[in-house]
Structure 1
Amino acid sequence: MSNGELLRIEPQELEFPFELKKQISCSLQLTNRADSYVAFKVKTTNPKKYCVRPNTGVVLPHSTCDVIVTMQAQKEAPEDMQCKDKFLLQAAVVSPGTTTKDITPEMFSKESGNRVEESKLRVAYVPPPRPPSPVREGSEEGSSPRASVSDNGTVNQTSEYNTLLRAHIEPKENTTEVKTLISKLTDEKNSVIQQNNKLQQELELLRRGSSKNGGGIPFLYVVIVGLLGILLGYLLKRT
């Protein structure tokens, strides 16, 4: 029985997060249920593989004692991650005032008429805990862009990353196109300015001629000059 009248053992199965070439430990807590002093002794079917501290001791009435079981580093993983090792924990009532130094093998012999309980504990290997994700949540200055994984397994960068990417790439890709457009608009502006100046001169000549002849400026010229002025203003804004 795992939990007797003398000692309560928790847990009732030794679980080791198995990792190759690494020592792994787990703990047992022994609680004395009796009003008497209880001595204990821990045995295993594979003593070279495990280190138990303490492997013997005395638990005072209604007190607890922690036992640490350490598995030595293993070079190979067991088949199917199954372990056949077992532990045996013996408990016996001893005289008040008994210490660990006073414990003898005869105390755990039922043939001597002592009150002895035995609990068998199995060993189980469990997967090691998963390490935390290296990607930090939240947006922080100096941190790497966040990424998320969609249902089909595609990694999607966040909008912050896309914005930075466009800011660094698009200007480089469009430099030649922008320069060409600016040059074209500048040529168009200069051409319109020249035409406007020419029309202004012709308009001035017409005004002078009309003044001498007593006539007015042709309406068509006025309209053309006005339209050219509007076009010139539009081109100046674009450049």
Structure 2
Amino acid sequence: MTTELLEIEPRELEFVFELKKQSSCLVQLRNKSDQYVAFKVKTTSPKKYCVRPNIGIIKPKEKSDFTVTMQAQKIAPPDLQCKDKFLIQSTVVPLGTTEDDITSGMFARDRGKHIEEKKLRVVLISPNSSPVLLPVNGGMKQDSEIHMQKDRVPSGVENIPPPLRVSEDVKGSETALDTEDDRSGTNEDVSRQEENVDDKKPAEDTVQLKLAKDSEELKSSLSLMDSKLREAEITIRKLTEERSMNAREKNMLKQELEMLKTKVNVKKVQVGFPLLYVCMVALISVAVGYYIHP
């Protein structure tokens, strides 16, 4: 195969290097072919980097991402030069292949199998220096102006405009009006509260009635459940007793059958006479007949 399987973006892994801090880089893979492609990511420093995920399946004309995280380093390399590299292997897989089916042997160069390999080098970037705070149009200038005004306050007493003076009569009339308005307002509020209380009483009564009905219904349902449970317990007891009785009857029948079998065997043994006994009786009867009738 001469066609390129994967397009990788970016072609260099850039990490912002700071001591005792992690740094991550996102890599995007795009499947340029019309087939399913499996990929695997390798690195020359596996203890230094973490790749998630390091294997995967990319559908035709689709994309897949993986993240490379550089672990926190205690020592900075000289001139931020890094020789670490990453290798991305890819190969065509049959339809229906999943990530669980990916093995290391899938990327082995045997039997003329096409394995595409692309290398990515690592580039370390120093963190940007923090900008110096300079006065800018806005808050910084205003703060500096406020501080300058505070520093330039004269040592003498400042001229403060006198407060507006109101005649005592006007104040008295205003306070009187305020008290009358307050009284009228309080009277109106009291009357409104009484009306609200009167309106709330029937509502509270209806709520209490509903609660009482609900409690009665709950009690009745509980009593029905108790009665059903008792009936169920009684039926279970009856069934267990019947089962025990059936077992006893079964045992009795077995015993009776065994007794009958033993009796039948005894009778079979006792039926008929032995052959020797029959011969002896015949001889004795012949001898007796001979002596009786010479």
Q: Same fold (TM over 0.5)?
A: yes
> Whole-Å Cα distance in 1 between the matches of residues 97 and 135 of structure 2?
55
The letter of the residue matching 2:100 is: K
Identical aligned pairs, as a percentage?
54
Query: Secondary structure at 1:101's aligned position in 2?
Result: helix
In structure 2, relative to structure 1, the CA distance for the partners of 1:133 and 1:61 (3 Å cut) is: farther
**Alignment check: 8 A CA contact 1:23 1:71 kept:** yes
Question: What's the counterpart of residue 66 of structure 1?
Answer: 65
**Alignment check: 8 A CA contact 1:106 1:112 kept:** no
Q: Hey, which of these two has a bigger chunk of helix by percent? A: 2
Question: What's the counterpart of residue 166 of structure 1?
Answer: 152
> Whole-Å Cα distance in 2 between the matches of residues 10 and 43 of structure 1?
17
Question: What's the counterpart of residue 122 of structure 1?
Answer: 121
**Equivalent pairs, count:** 154
Question: What's the counterpart of residue 17 of structure 2?
Answer: 18
**Alignment check: 8 A CA contact 1:93 1:114 kept:** no
The answer on 1:82 being equivalent to 2:72 is no
In structure 2, relative to structure 1, the CA distance for the partners of 1:117 and 1:134 (3 Å cut) is: same
**Alignment check: 8 A CA contact 1:17 1:129 kept:** no
> What TM-score do you get using the length of structure 1 for normalisation?
0.59
Shift in Å, 1:164 = 3.6
Shift in Å, 1:129 = 3.9
Unaligned runs of 5+ in 1: 146-158, 176-239
Shift in Å, 1:132 = 6.1
Deviates more, 1:30-39 or 1:103-112: 103-112
> Whole-Å Cα distance in 2 between the matches of residues 73 and 25 of structure 1?
11
> Whole-Å Cα distance in 1 between the matches of residues 128 and 24 of structure 2?
14
> Whole-Å Cα distance in 2 between the matches of residues 136 and 117 of structure 1?
56
The letter of the residue matching 1:74 is: Q
Deviations 1:1-43 (A, max 9, x none): xxx7100000000000000001110010000000000000000
The letter of the residue matching 2:36 is: Y
* Higher RCO (C-alpha under 8 Å, 6+ residues apart): 1
Deviations 1:56-75 (A, max 9, x none): 11111111111100001000
Deviations 1:146-191 (A, max 9, x none): xxxxxxxxxxxxx554344323xxx13xx5xxxxxxxxxxxxxxxx
Deviates more, 1:125-134 or 1:56-65: 125-134
